[in-house]
Amino acid sequence: MMKNLQSASLRVTPSLSSNPLKTKKPTIRLNVGRAENALRERARTKPSERVRRAPLERMGKIHRIIAEGNYPNARQLARELEIGYKTILRDIEYMRDHYSQPIAYDCTRGGYYYSQPVHDFAGFTTMTETEMSAIMVAHKAVAQYQDTPFHRPLKVACEKLTRHLDSKDRSLLEHSTEAVSFRPLAPEDTDVALFKTCTAALRAGEVLKFCYRKPGGKTRHTRLVHPYHVTCSDNRWYLLGYDEERHDIRTFALARMSSMQTTDKRFTPPDDFDPAKYLSDSFTVMSGTGDYEVVIDFDAWATDQLRGRKWHATQTVTELADGASRMTMHLSALEEVERWILSWGTHATVIGPAALTERISTTISHLSSRYPNKTAITKPEA
C-alpha cells in the first residue's frame, strides 16, 4: 500500500467479502504527496496573507455605514451587504472585541451607533473623496521622479496606502487614475548613479569632488563642495552647497556635473542654513546680491493665463483696466525672470527696475537684427 503514497489520492474504498452482509473495514489510501505540498505552500505563505480579506472588507463597510450616523440595525446591515443576519452580529462583536470599536445599540432609535468619535476603522483604511483624489494625484505625480532614487520608495508608499482599501474604493481609484495625467515640460534625464552619490554624501556629511561646467561653457573645472541640499526646479535637479575654492554657497546643476566622487573629508552643515530662505529671493534657483522690485504689466490675454497661479512667494497682483494686471515681486537676481518675461512675448511689459528694462531692450535689439523682415503679429485666441 505504501508504494503509491506519492501519487495516490485520498480515497476510502469499501472492501467487500463474499458475504454481502459482512464488510471489512474501509481501506484508507492517503495522498501523502499532496498533503506535504499543501503544508509546504502554507509554510511559505505569510500569516497575514492567510487571513481572508472578505470579512475585513465587510467590517470596513459596516464601520462606514454606522459612521454615517443613521443608526442601522443588524437586519438593515444584512440587506445592505447581502449577507446573513447572524454574520452581522458576529462581525459587530468581533469589531468590538478585537478592534475596540465603541459600537453601541440605541434602543430608542433601534440601531447601532458609535458612542465615541471614530474617524477610521482600526483594521481597515477608509478615505474621504478628498483623500481619494489626493491619492489619485500622488499616483500620477510619482511618475515625474522616474530614474531617481525617490521613484521606487514613492511608488511603494502609494501602493501601501491603497493596499488596504476595500474593493469598491480600489476599483474607483483604478478607474479615476485614467482621468488624470501629468505632462511635465522637458523632464530631465537624470544620471541615477551621480544622483545617488550626491544624496548619499549629503546624508553622510562627506565632501564631494566633481568636474563642473558653467552654462554655455566648454571647460570643466574641479570643485570641492559641501553638499547642503538637493532641489528640483523646473524639472531639473540642483545641488546647493558650499564651494571650498570660492568660499561661498553656490548652486550646481546636476546635469553639468561629471566624475563625481566622495572624499575622506567630512563637514558639518551650518545650523543657520535654510534652503527655503536661501532660495526665497530667487525666481527659481539662481540667487544674487541685488535687491530688485520687479514690476510687470500683463495684457488681458496673459492675465487669464496667470490668474490663480503662484509664480513667486513675494508676488502681488493688481487688476487693471480692460482685464489687464500688474505683478510685483522682490528678487536678488534678474537672469531667470528676464527669460520668463521674454517667453510672454508682446503680452508682458516691464515697468521696473531700470536694470531689467535695459536687459530686455538689449535682448530685443539682438533679436530684431536676426529677424529683419517685419510681419504682423496676431495674438492667440486660447
Task: Look at strands 316-319 and 292-298 and give their pairing.
Answer: unpaired
State pLDDT tens for residues 167-202.
Answer: 666 666 666 666 677 777 777 777 888 998 999 999
Which grid cell sits at 211?
568636474
* CA quadruple 112, 117, 120, 122: dihedral sign: negative
Mean of all residue pLDDT scores within the chain: 82
pLDDT at 300 over 70: yes
State pLDDT tens for residues 101-144.
Answer: 999 999 999 999 999 988 777 655 556 666 767 777 777 777 77
The residue ranges of DSSP E strands in the chain, in sequence order, are: 11-13, 27-29, 103-106, 111-114, 206-213, 220-233, 236-243, 248-253, 257-266, 292-298, 316-319, 325-331, 348-352
Q: Rounded distance, CA 231 to CA 150, Å?
A: 13
Return left, alpha or beta for 341; rule: phi > 0 is left, psi -120 to 50 is alpha, else beta: alpha
Region 192-278: CATH code: 2.30.30
pLDDT at 41 over 70: no
State pLDDT tens for residues 217-230.
Answer: 999 999 999 999 99
**Residues 102 and 149: beta-carbon distance below 8 Å:** no
Helices (H), 264-371: 275-278, 300-306, 335-342, 354-370
**Residues 250 and 241: beta-carbon distance below 8 Å:** yes
- pLDDT higher at 178 or 234: 234
| DSSP SS3 for 327 | strand
What residues contact residue 15 under an 8 Å CB cut-off, 6+ apart? 23, 24, 25, 26, 27
Instruction: Give residue 50's pLDDT.
Output: 41
> Which phi and psi angles does 209 have, rounded to 5°?
-125, 125
Instruction: Give residue 139's pLDDT.
Output: 72
DSSP state letter for 350: E
Distances (CA, A) of 120 to 93, 131, 309: 17, 13, 35
Domain 292-370 classified CATH 3.30.1370?
A: no
Q: Rounded distance, CA 367 to CA 371, Å?
A: 6
Return left, alpha or beta for 318; rule: phi > 0 is left, psi -120 to 50 is alpha, else beta: beta
Region 53-114: CATH code: 1.10.10.10
Which grid cell sits at 125?
483604511
Q: Rounded distance, CA 229 to CA 233, Å?
A: 13
